[in-house]
Structure 1
Amino acid sequence: MGIFYDEIPSKPDLMGWIAKQKIFFVGTAPLSGDGNVNISPKGTVGSFHIADSTHVWYEDLTGSGSETIAHIEENERITIMFAAFEGAPRIVRLFGRGKSYFRGSPEYESYLPESAGRMPGSRAVVVVEVLRCSSTCGFSIPFMEYLKERETLDNWAAKKEVDTHFEVPLILPPTSDENQEDTPASTTTIPASKNDLRVYWARDNSHSIDGLPSLGTFINDRSSPPSKSKRCTSSSSPSHPPSFRLPSIRSVFSHAVVGGVVGGLVYGWEEGWIDVKMAVGLVGATGAWVVETMVGVPVPAPCCAMGM
Protein backbone atom coordinates (compact mmCIF):
# COMPACT_ATOMS: atom_id res chain seq x y z
CA MET A 1 0.00 0.00 0.00
CA GLY A 2 1.31 3.45 -0.88
CA ILE A 3 2.18 6.03 1.76
CA PHE A 4 1.58 9.73 1.11
CA TYR A 5 3.32 12.71 2.69
CA ASP A 6 2.82 16.47 2.49
CA GLU A 7 6.56 16.86 1.93
CA ILE A 8 9.63 14.76 1.28
CA PRO A 9 10.07 13.04 4.66
CA SER A 10 13.27 12.70 6.62
CA LYS A 11 12.03 9.46 8.19
CA PRO A 12 12.22 7.34 6.16
CA ASP A 13 15.15 9.17 4.61
CA LEU A 14 13.72 9.62 1.12
CA MET A 15 15.96 12.63 0.49
CA GLY A 16 19.07 10.52 0.89
CA TRP A 17 17.59 7.74 -1.23
CA ILE A 18 16.64 10.17 -4.02
CA ALA A 19 20.15 11.61 -4.06
CA LYS A 20 21.57 8.16 -4.87
CA GLN A 21 19.39 7.55 -7.94
CA LYS A 22 20.98 7.70 -11.38
CA ILE A 23 17.81 8.43 -13.34
CA PHE A 24 14.40 10.03 -12.82
CA PHE A 25 11.29 10.47 -14.94
CA VAL A 26 9.26 13.64 -15.48
CA GLY A 27 5.58 13.55 -16.42
CA THR A 28 3.60 16.54 -17.71
CA ALA A 29 0.56 17.18 -19.90
CA PRO A 30 -1.16 20.09 -21.65
CA LEU A 31 -4.58 21.28 -20.57
CA SER A 32 -6.12 20.27 -23.88
CA GLY A 33 -8.01 17.00 -23.68
CA ASP A 34 -6.54 15.78 -26.95
CA GLY A 35 -3.01 16.99 -26.24
CA ASN A 36 -0.08 14.61 -25.93
CA VAL A 37 0.94 13.50 -22.43
CA ASN A 38 4.72 13.49 -22.09
CA ILE A 39 7.11 11.38 -19.99
CA SER A 40 10.79 12.26 -20.15
CA PRO A 41 13.63 10.19 -18.69
CA LYS A 42 16.31 12.39 -17.15
CA GLY A 43 19.84 11.17 -16.59
CA THR A 44 23.23 12.69 -15.86
CA VAL A 45 24.26 12.24 -12.26
CA GLY A 46 24.33 15.54 -10.40
CA SER A 47 21.57 17.28 -12.36
CA PHE A 48 18.87 16.81 -9.70
CA HIS A 49 18.91 18.86 -6.49
CA ILE A 50 16.82 18.95 -3.29
CA ALA A 51 16.59 22.45 -1.84
CA ASP A 52 14.40 21.45 1.11
CA SER A 53 11.52 19.12 1.93
CA THR A 54 9.09 20.98 -0.36
CA HIS A 55 11.34 22.31 -3.12
CA VAL A 56 13.46 20.50 -5.70
CA TRP A 57 15.04 21.55 -8.98
CA TYR A 58 16.99 20.06 -11.82
CA GLU A 59 19.27 21.30 -14.58
CA ASP A 60 17.43 20.90 -17.86
CA LEU A 61 19.75 19.78 -20.65
CA THR A 62 19.32 20.17 -24.40
CA GLY A 63 17.18 17.52 -26.05
CA SER A 64 15.32 16.84 -29.27
CA GLY A 65 12.15 18.37 -27.79
CA SER A 66 10.97 20.66 -25.01
CA GLU A 67 7.61 19.23 -23.95
CA THR A 68 8.15 19.58 -20.20
CA ILE A 69 8.89 23.30 -20.37
CA ALA A 70 5.96 23.93 -22.71
CA HIS A 71 3.53 22.14 -20.40
CA ILE A 72 4.60 23.74 -17.13
CA GLU A 73 4.66 27.15 -18.78
CA GLU A 74 0.99 26.55 -19.59
CA ASN A 75 -0.29 24.93 -16.40
CA GLU A 76 2.62 24.22 -13.96
CA ARG A 77 1.55 20.60 -13.30
CA ILE A 78 4.42 18.15 -13.01
CA THR A 79 5.24 14.77 -11.46
CA ILE A 80 8.76 13.45 -10.90
CA MET A 81 9.26 9.72 -10.37
CA PHE A 82 12.20 7.70 -9.07
CA ALA A 83 12.44 3.90 -9.09
CA ALA A 84 14.88 1.56 -7.36
CA PHE A 85 16.79 -0.67 -9.78
CA GLU A 86 19.03 -2.06 -7.04
CA GLY A 87 18.55 -2.82 -3.36
CA ALA A 88 15.12 -2.79 -1.73
CA PRO A 89 12.16 -2.12 -4.07
CA ARG A 90 10.76 1.40 -3.97
CA ILE A 91 9.02 3.97 -6.19
CA VAL A 92 8.87 7.60 -5.11
CA ARG A 93 6.75 10.25 -6.81
CA LEU A 94 6.90 14.00 -6.24
CA PHE A 95 3.68 15.76 -7.26
CA GLY A 96 3.91 19.50 -7.60
CA ARG A 97 3.92 22.76 -9.48
CA GLY A 98 6.83 23.65 -11.71
CA LYS A 99 8.51 26.76 -13.09
CA SER A 100 11.20 26.92 -15.77
CA TYR A 101 13.92 29.55 -15.96
CA PHE A 102 15.84 29.87 -19.20
CA ARG A 103 19.61 30.17 -19.35
CA GLY A 104 20.63 33.79 -18.87
CA SER A 105 17.68 34.75 -16.68
CA PRO A 106 18.38 36.06 -13.16
CA GLU A 107 16.66 33.00 -11.66
CA TYR A 108 18.80 30.61 -13.70
CA GLU A 109 21.93 32.47 -12.67
CA SER A 110 20.93 32.26 -9.00
CA TYR A 111 20.47 28.48 -9.16
CA LEU A 112 23.39 27.83 -11.50
CA PRO A 113 26.03 30.57 -11.35
CA GLU A 114 28.79 30.11 -13.88
CA SER A 115 31.21 29.33 -11.07
CA ALA A 116 29.10 26.30 -10.09
CA GLY A 117 30.05 24.43 -13.24
CA ARG A 118 27.19 24.01 -15.67
CA MET A 119 26.77 20.83 -17.66
CA PRO A 120 27.24 20.93 -21.44
CA GLY A 121 23.98 21.79 -23.14
CA SER A 122 22.42 23.33 -20.05
CA ARG A 123 19.42 25.35 -21.27
CA ALA A 124 17.23 25.95 -18.21
CA VAL A 125 16.47 25.03 -14.62
CA VAL A 126 13.12 23.51 -13.67
CA VAL A 127 12.06 24.32 -10.12
CA VAL A 128 9.27 22.30 -8.48
CA GLU A 129 7.24 23.08 -5.39
CA VAL A 130 6.41 19.65 -3.95
CA LEU A 131 2.75 19.46 -2.91
CA ARG A 132 2.66 15.73 -2.21
CA CYS A 133 5.15 12.88 -2.00
CA SER A 134 4.30 9.19 -2.31
CA SER A 135 6.31 6.06 -1.61
CA THR A 136 5.08 2.77 -3.07
CA CYS A 137 6.44 -0.73 -3.49
CA GLY A 138 7.88 -1.43 -6.92
CA PHE A 139 7.90 -5.22 -6.60
CA SER A 140 7.70 -5.64 -10.38
CA ILE A 141 10.63 -3.33 -11.21
CA PRO A 142 13.61 -5.40 -12.44
CA PHE A 143 17.13 -5.27 -11.07
CA MET A 144 19.48 -3.41 -13.39
CA GLU A 145 23.17 -2.71 -13.05
CA TYR A 146 24.51 0.81 -13.53
CA LEU A 147 27.56 0.85 -15.79
CA LYS A 148 28.39 4.45 -16.63
CA GLU A 149 27.04 7.73 -17.99
CA ARG A 150 26.56 8.15 -21.73
CA GLU A 151 28.84 10.82 -23.19
CA THR A 152 27.04 11.50 -26.47
CA LEU A 153 25.05 14.55 -25.32
CA ASP A 154 28.01 16.04 -23.44
CA ASN A 155 30.29 15.74 -26.46
CA TRP A 156 27.70 17.10 -28.92
CA ALA A 157 26.73 20.05 -26.72
CA ALA A 158 30.33 20.90 -25.82
CA LYS A 159 31.16 21.28 -29.52
CA LYS A 160 28.12 23.50 -30.01
CA GLU A 161 29.02 25.72 -27.07
CA VAL A 162 32.39 26.56 -28.66
CA ASP A 163 30.44 28.60 -31.25
CA THR A 164 27.84 29.87 -28.78
CA HIS A 165 28.25 33.35 -27.31
CA PHE A 166 25.53 33.64 -24.68
CA GLU A 167 26.44 37.25 -23.91
CA VAL A 168 25.62 38.32 -27.50
CA PRO A 169 21.96 38.83 -28.51
CA LEU A 170 20.80 36.04 -30.77
CA ILE A 171 20.00 36.77 -34.41
CA LEU A 172 19.17 33.64 -36.33
CA PRO A 173 21.07 32.98 -39.53
CA PRO A 174 18.82 32.95 -42.61
CA THR A 175 17.33 29.64 -43.65
CA SER A 176 17.43 28.38 -47.22
CA ASP A 177 14.09 30.02 -48.02
CA GLU A 178 14.94 33.37 -46.46
CA ASN A 179 16.66 36.23 -48.25
CA GLN A 180 19.94 37.33 -46.75
CA GLU A 181 18.69 40.93 -46.93
CA ASP A 182 15.83 40.07 -44.56
CA THR A 183 18.26 39.23 -41.76
CA PRO A 184 18.77 42.10 -39.28
CA ALA A 185 22.36 43.27 -39.14
CA SER A 186 24.42 46.13 -37.76
CA THR A 187 27.98 46.94 -36.91
CA THR A 188 27.59 45.35 -33.47
CA THR A 189 25.32 42.36 -34.09
CA ILE A 190 25.59 39.74 -36.82
CA PRO A 191 23.61 36.53 -37.41
CA ALA A 192 24.70 33.74 -35.12
CA SER A 193 26.69 30.79 -36.36
CA LYS A 194 24.63 27.82 -37.48
CA ASN A 195 26.50 25.86 -34.80
CA ASP A 196 25.28 28.25 -32.09
CA LEU A 197 23.42 26.11 -29.54
CA ARG A 198 20.72 28.77 -29.27
CA VAL A 199 19.94 28.35 -32.98
CA TYR A 200 19.10 24.71 -32.26
CA TRP A 201 16.91 25.76 -29.32
CA ALA A 202 15.10 28.38 -31.41
CA ARG A 203 14.40 26.08 -34.32
CA ASP A 204 13.95 22.67 -32.67
CA ASN A 205 12.85 23.48 -29.09
CA SER A 206 10.65 26.53 -29.69
CA HIS A 207 7.29 24.74 -29.35
CA SER A 208 5.82 21.47 -28.17
CA ILE A 209 4.52 18.91 -30.66
CA ASP A 210 1.04 20.30 -29.93
CA GLY A 211 2.18 23.83 -30.81
CA LEU A 212 2.49 25.20 -27.25
CA PRO A 213 5.25 27.81 -26.88
CA SER A 214 8.35 26.49 -25.15
CA LEU A 215 11.88 27.83 -25.46
CA GLY A 216 10.67 30.14 -28.22
CA THR A 217 9.12 32.35 -25.51
CA PHE A 218 12.59 33.01 -24.09
CA ILE A 219 14.52 33.49 -27.32
CA ASN A 220 14.38 36.55 -29.57
CA ASP A 221 13.78 34.65 -32.79
CA ARG A 222 11.50 34.09 -35.74
CA SER A 223 10.37 30.66 -34.55
CA SER A 224 6.83 29.49 -35.13
CA PRO A 225 4.78 26.45 -34.06
CA PRO A 226 5.64 23.26 -35.91
CA SER A 227 3.53 22.58 -38.98
CA LYS A 228 1.18 19.62 -38.96
CA SER A 229 3.64 17.73 -41.12
CA LYS A 230 6.30 18.09 -38.43
CA ARG A 231 4.06 17.13 -35.54
CA CYS A 232 3.67 13.59 -34.30
CA THR A 233 1.77 11.97 -37.17
CA SER A 234 3.16 8.45 -37.25
CA SER A 235 0.91 5.41 -37.14
CA SER A 236 1.87 4.88 -33.51
CA SER A 237 0.61 8.33 -32.49
CA PRO A 238 -2.73 8.66 -30.72
CA SER A 239 -5.51 9.77 -33.04
CA HIS A 240 -9.08 10.89 -32.63
CA PRO A 241 -11.69 8.15 -32.95
CA PRO A 242 -13.51 8.20 -36.29
CA SER A 243 -16.88 9.89 -36.37
CA PHE A 244 -18.50 6.68 -37.63
CA ARG A 245 -17.53 3.15 -36.68
CA LEU A 246 -19.30 -0.06 -37.70
CA PRO A 247 -20.90 -1.77 -34.69
CA SER A 248 -19.47 -5.09 -33.57
CA ILE A 249 -21.35 -8.36 -34.01
CA ARG A 250 -21.64 -8.63 -30.22
CA SER A 251 -23.25 -5.17 -30.06
CA VAL A 252 -25.73 -5.97 -32.84
CA PHE A 253 -26.67 -9.30 -31.24
CA SER A 254 -27.10 -7.71 -27.79
CA HIS A 255 -29.38 -5.00 -29.17
CA ALA A 256 -31.42 -7.63 -31.02
CA VAL A 257 -31.86 -9.69 -27.84
CA VAL A 258 -32.89 -6.65 -25.80
CA GLY A 259 -35.32 -5.58 -28.53
CA GLY A 260 -36.84 -9.05 -28.64
CA VAL A 261 -37.26 -9.23 -24.86
CA VAL A 262 -38.87 -5.78 -24.71
CA GLY A 263 -41.22 -6.63 -27.58
CA GLY A 264 -42.16 -9.92 -25.92
CA LEU A 265 -42.82 -8.19 -22.60
CA VAL A 266 -45.13 -5.64 -24.21
CA TYR A 267 -47.05 -8.31 -26.15
CA GLY A 268 -47.25 -10.66 -23.14
CA TRP A 269 -48.43 -7.85 -20.90
CA GLU A 270 -51.20 -6.89 -23.30
CA GLU A 271 -52.28 -10.52 -23.65
CA GLY A 272 -52.17 -11.09 -19.89
CA TRP A 273 -49.48 -13.78 -20.04
CA ILE A 274 -46.97 -11.83 -17.91
CA ASP A 275 -47.51 -10.26 -14.49
CA VAL A 276 -45.38 -7.60 -12.75
CA LYS A 277 -43.13 -10.04 -10.92
CA MET A 278 -42.31 -12.00 -14.07
CA ALA A 279 -41.67 -8.77 -16.01
CA VAL A 280 -39.23 -7.49 -13.40
CA GLY A 281 -37.40 -10.82 -13.38
CA LEU A 282 -37.09 -10.93 -17.16
CA VAL A 283 -35.84 -7.33 -17.31
CA GLY A 284 -33.28 -8.01 -14.57
CA ALA A 285 -31.99 -11.19 -16.20
CA THR A 286 -31.71 -9.51 -19.58
CA GLY A 287 -29.91 -6.50 -18.10
CA ALA A 288 -27.45 -8.76 -16.29
CA TRP A 289 -26.76 -10.70 -19.47
CA VAL A 290 -26.10 -7.49 -21.40
CA VAL A 291 -23.70 -6.23 -18.70
CA GLU A 292 -21.77 -9.50 -18.62
CA THR A 293 -21.67 -9.76 -22.43
CA MET A 294 -20.76 -6.16 -23.29
CA VAL A 295 -18.70 -5.09 -20.27
CA GLY A 296 -17.40 -8.41 -18.96
CA VAL A 297 -18.50 -7.71 -15.38
CA PRO A 298 -20.30 -10.62 -13.72
CA VAL A 299 -23.57 -9.70 -12.02
CA PRO A 300 -24.47 -11.55 -8.78
CA ALA A 301 -27.48 -13.85 -8.97
CA PRO A 302 -29.49 -11.94 -6.31
CA CYS A 303 -29.24 -8.82 -8.44
CA CYS A 304 -30.59 -10.74 -11.45
CA ALA A 305 -33.50 -12.05 -9.42
CA MET A 306 -34.30 -8.59 -8.10
CA GLY A 307 -34.01 -7.01 -11.55
CA MET A 308 -31.02 -4.91 -10.47
Structure 2
Amino acid sequence: MAKQFDHLSDVLTRFIEAQHIFFVGTAATEGKVNISPKGMDSLRVLGPNRIAWRNLTGSGNETAGHLAQINRMTLMWCGFEAKPMILRTYGSARTLHPRDADFAELNALFPPSDAARQIYDLAIDIVQTSCGYAVPFMDYAGDRDVLKKWAEDKGPDGIAAYWETRNRQTIDGAPTHILDPQEG
Protein backbone atom coordinates (compact mmCIF):
# COMPACT_ATOMS: atom_id res chain seq x y z
CA MET A 1 0.00 0.00 0.00
CA ALA A 2 1.35 3.42 -0.95
CA LYS A 3 2.17 5.90 1.80
CA GLN A 4 2.70 9.62 1.36
CA PHE A 5 4.83 11.99 3.40
CA ASP A 6 5.62 15.70 3.26
CA HIS A 7 9.40 15.15 3.57
CA LEU A 8 12.19 12.59 3.45
CA SER A 9 12.82 10.87 6.76
CA ASP A 10 16.27 9.70 7.81
CA VAL A 11 15.27 6.14 6.88
CA LEU A 12 14.23 7.18 3.36
CA THR A 13 17.37 9.29 2.95
CA ARG A 14 19.51 6.26 3.83
CA PHE A 15 17.53 4.21 1.30
CA ILE A 16 18.28 6.78 -1.42
CA GLU A 17 21.96 6.89 -0.49
CA ALA A 18 22.20 3.08 -0.74
CA GLN A 19 20.83 2.96 -4.32
CA HIS A 20 23.08 2.80 -7.37
CA ILE A 21 20.47 3.99 -9.87
CA PHE A 22 17.51 6.34 -9.90
CA PHE A 23 15.07 7.46 -12.56
CA VAL A 24 13.98 10.98 -13.44
CA GLY A 25 10.66 11.75 -15.09
CA THR A 26 9.59 15.02 -16.75
CA ALA A 27 7.07 16.13 -19.37
CA ALA A 28 6.14 19.31 -21.19
CA THR A 29 2.54 20.28 -21.96
CA GLU A 30 2.76 18.42 -25.27
CA GLY A 31 5.12 15.87 -26.74
CA LYS A 32 7.00 12.98 -25.27
CA VAL A 33 7.22 12.08 -21.60
CA ASN A 34 10.84 11.45 -20.63
CA ILE A 35 12.07 8.89 -18.12
CA SER A 36 15.84 8.58 -17.78
CA PRO A 37 17.99 6.26 -15.67
CA LYS A 38 20.76 8.03 -13.76
CA GLY A 39 23.73 6.61 -11.93
CA MET A 40 27.32 7.39 -11.08
CA ASP A 41 27.88 9.75 -8.17
CA SER A 42 25.30 12.30 -9.27
CA LEU A 43 22.80 12.85 -6.46
CA ARG A 44 22.84 14.49 -3.02
CA VAL A 45 20.05 14.74 -0.47
CA LEU A 46 20.51 18.29 0.86
CA GLY A 47 17.65 18.23 3.36
CA PRO A 48 14.27 16.64 4.05
CA ASN A 49 12.72 18.57 1.13
CA ARG A 50 15.68 19.18 -1.14
CA ILE A 51 17.70 17.04 -3.55
CA ALA A 52 20.40 18.11 -6.00
CA TRP A 53 21.40 15.95 -8.92
CA ARG A 54 24.03 16.71 -11.48
CA ASN A 55 23.23 15.89 -15.07
CA LEU A 56 26.22 14.93 -17.16
CA THR A 57 26.36 15.44 -20.93
CA GLY A 58 24.47 12.77 -22.81
CA SER A 59 22.70 12.07 -26.06
CA GLY A 60 19.52 13.95 -25.13
CA ASN A 61 18.64 16.94 -22.98
CA GLU A 62 14.94 16.41 -22.36
CA THR A 63 14.86 17.34 -18.67
CA ALA A 64 16.16 20.87 -19.27
CA GLY A 65 13.72 21.47 -22.12
CA HIS A 66 10.75 20.14 -20.17
CA LEU A 67 11.54 22.13 -17.02
CA ALA A 68 11.83 25.32 -19.10
CA GLN A 69 8.16 24.78 -20.00
CA ILE A 70 6.67 23.16 -16.90
CA ASN A 71 8.59 23.04 -13.67
CA ARG A 72 7.76 19.58 -12.33
CA MET A 73 9.94 16.55 -11.77
CA THR A 74 9.64 13.08 -10.29
CA LEU A 75 12.62 11.07 -9.04
CA MET A 76 12.20 7.33 -8.40
CA TRP A 77 14.32 4.66 -6.73
CA CYS A 78 13.70 0.90 -6.56
CA GLY A 79 15.07 -1.47 -3.96
CA PHE A 80 16.71 -4.08 -6.21
CA GLU A 81 19.09 -5.67 -3.71
CA ALA A 82 17.33 -5.95 -0.37
CA LYS A 83 14.13 -4.44 0.97
CA PRO A 84 11.38 -4.35 -1.67
CA MET A 85 10.39 -0.70 -1.93
CA ILE A 86 9.73 1.96 -4.53
CA LEU A 87 10.34 5.56 -3.47
CA ARG A 88 9.24 8.62 -5.43
CA THR A 89 9.81 12.30 -4.77
CA TYR A 90 7.59 14.81 -6.54
CA GLY A 91 8.37 18.49 -6.82
CA SER A 92 9.71 21.39 -8.81
CA ALA A 93 13.32 21.98 -9.77
CA ARG A 94 15.59 24.89 -10.59
CA THR A 95 17.77 24.22 -13.60
CA LEU A 96 21.31 25.48 -13.09
CA HIS A 97 23.75 25.67 -16.00
CA PRO A 98 27.52 26.22 -15.63
CA ARG A 99 26.95 29.92 -16.39
CA ASP A 100 24.62 30.34 -13.38
CA ALA A 101 25.82 31.77 -10.06
CA ASP A 102 24.74 28.81 -7.86
CA PHE A 103 26.13 26.14 -10.19
CA ALA A 104 29.72 26.12 -8.87
CA GLU A 105 28.67 25.74 -5.25
CA LEU A 106 26.45 22.72 -5.95
CA ASN A 107 28.83 21.26 -8.53
CA ALA A 108 31.53 21.18 -5.82
CA LEU A 109 29.46 18.51 -4.04
CA PHE A 110 30.32 16.03 -6.81
CA PRO A 111 33.52 14.58 -8.28
CA PRO A 112 35.09 16.87 -10.92
CA SER A 113 33.79 16.39 -14.48
CA ASP A 114 33.99 18.49 -17.63
CA ALA A 115 30.74 16.78 -18.68
CA ALA A 116 28.65 18.55 -15.99
CA ARG A 117 25.80 20.03 -18.03
CA GLN A 118 23.15 21.02 -15.50
CA ILE A 119 22.37 20.66 -11.84
CA TYR A 120 18.75 20.26 -10.87
CA ASP A 121 17.84 21.60 -7.44
CA LEU A 122 14.62 19.77 -6.55
CA ALA A 123 12.20 21.19 -3.99
CA ILE A 124 10.17 18.21 -2.80
CA ASP A 125 6.40 18.61 -2.36
CA ILE A 126 5.42 14.97 -1.78
CA VAL A 127 7.30 11.78 -0.96
CA GLN A 128 5.63 8.44 -1.70
CA THR A 129 6.64 4.89 -0.93
CA SER A 130 5.06 1.74 -2.31
CA CYS A 131 5.72 -1.95 -1.85
CA GLY A 132 7.99 -2.84 -4.78
CA TYR A 133 7.04 -6.51 -4.42
CA ALA A 134 7.26 -7.05 -8.19
CA VAL A 135 10.68 -5.39 -8.55
CA PRO A 136 13.25 -8.11 -9.29
CA PHE A 137 16.43 -8.75 -7.34
CA MET A 138 19.42 -7.42 -9.22
CA ASP A 139 23.08 -7.42 -8.23
CA TYR A 140 25.18 -4.29 -8.55
CA ALA A 141 28.35 -5.03 -10.53
CA GLY A 142 29.81 -1.51 -10.57
CA ASP A 143 29.62 1.80 -12.37
CA ARG A 144 30.44 2.07 -16.05
CA ASP A 145 33.35 4.34 -16.92
CA VAL A 146 32.30 4.91 -20.54
CA LEU A 147 30.83 8.40 -20.01
CA LYS A 148 33.81 9.51 -17.94
CA LYS A 149 36.27 8.36 -20.64
CA TRP A 150 34.12 9.87 -23.41
CA ALA A 151 34.12 13.27 -21.65
CA GLU A 152 37.87 13.12 -21.00
CA ASP A 153 38.52 12.33 -24.68
CA LYS A 154 36.24 15.17 -25.84
CA GLY A 155 37.64 17.75 -23.42
CA PRO A 156 35.83 21.03 -22.63
CA ASP A 157 35.88 22.30 -26.24
CA GLY A 158 34.55 19.01 -27.62
CA ILE A 159 31.80 18.92 -25.04
CA ALA A 160 30.79 22.51 -25.86
CA ALA A 161 30.63 21.54 -29.55
CA TYR A 162 28.50 18.51 -28.63
CA TRP A 163 26.10 20.74 -26.70
CA GLU A 164 25.84 22.99 -29.76
CA THR A 165 24.99 20.18 -32.16
CA ARG A 166 23.20 17.62 -29.97
CA ASN A 167 21.79 19.21 -26.80
CA ARG A 168 20.11 22.51 -27.82
CA GLN A 169 16.65 21.02 -28.38
CA THR A 170 14.49 18.24 -27.02
CA ILE A 171 13.37 15.49 -29.37
CA ASP A 172 10.15 17.51 -29.78
CA GLY A 173 12.14 20.60 -30.84
CA ALA A 174 11.80 22.64 -27.63
CA PRO A 175 14.82 24.72 -26.53
CA THR A 176 16.92 23.43 -23.63
CA HIS A 177 18.77 26.72 -23.02
CA ILE A 178 22.05 24.82 -22.73
CA LEU A 179 24.07 27.63 -24.36
CA ASP A 180 21.82 30.68 -24.20
CA PRO A 181 19.15 31.51 -21.60
CA GLN A 182 17.26 33.47 -24.27
CA GLU A 183 17.20 30.84 -27.04
CA GLY A 184 13.87 29.61 -28.30
User: So what's the TM-score if we normalise by structure 2?
Assistant: 0.93
Q: Given the alignment of the two structures, is residue 43 of structure 1 paired with residue 39 of structure 2, yes or no?
A: yes
Structure 2 distance, partners of 1:196, 1:86, is: 38
Match of 2:123 among 123, 129, 144: 129
Structure 2 distance, partners of 1:143, 1:218, is: 37
1:63-74 alignment runs, 5 A limit: 63-74=58-69
Q: Given the alignment of the two structures, is residue 153 of structure 1 paired with residue 115 of structure 2, yes or no?
A: no
User: So what's the TM-score if we normalise by structure 1?
Assistant: 0.57
**More helix by proportion, 1 or 2?**
1
- 1:120 Cα offset (Å): 4.5
CA contact (8 A) 1:96 1:129 kept: yes
Question: What is the SS of the residue equivalent to 1:133?
Answer: strand
**More strand by proportion, 1 or 2?**
2
Match of 1:16 in 2: 14
Structure 2 distance, partners of 1:94, 1:218, is: 25
Q: Given the alignment of the two structures, is residue 75 of structure 1 paired with residue 70 of structure 2, yes or no?
A: yes
- 1:136 Cα offset (Å): 0.5
1:79-158 alignment runs, 5 A limit: 79-113=74-108, 117-158=111-152
Match of 1:58 in 2: 53
Ranges in structure 1 where 5+ consecutive residues have no aligned partner: 165-194, 225-308
Higher RCO structure (Cα 8 Å, ≥6 apart): 2
Tell me the alpha carbon deviations over residues 56-93 of structure 1, each in whole angstroms, 9 at most, x when there is no partner. Answer: 01011111000011111111111000001011100000
- 1:196 Cα offset (Å): 2.1
- Cα RMSD after superposing both structures: 1.8
1:186-265 alignment runs, 5 A limit: 196-214=158-176, 217-220=177-180
Question: What is the SS of the residue equivalent to 1:40?
Answer: strand
Amino acid at match of 2:73: I
Question: What is the SS of the residue equivalent to 1:196?
Answer: helix
Amino acid at match of 2:52: W
Report the structure number with the largest CA radius of gyration: 1
CA contact (8 A) 2:92 2:124 kept: yes
Identity of aligned residues (%): 31
- 1:153 Cα offset (Å): 0.6
Match of 2:24 in 1: 26
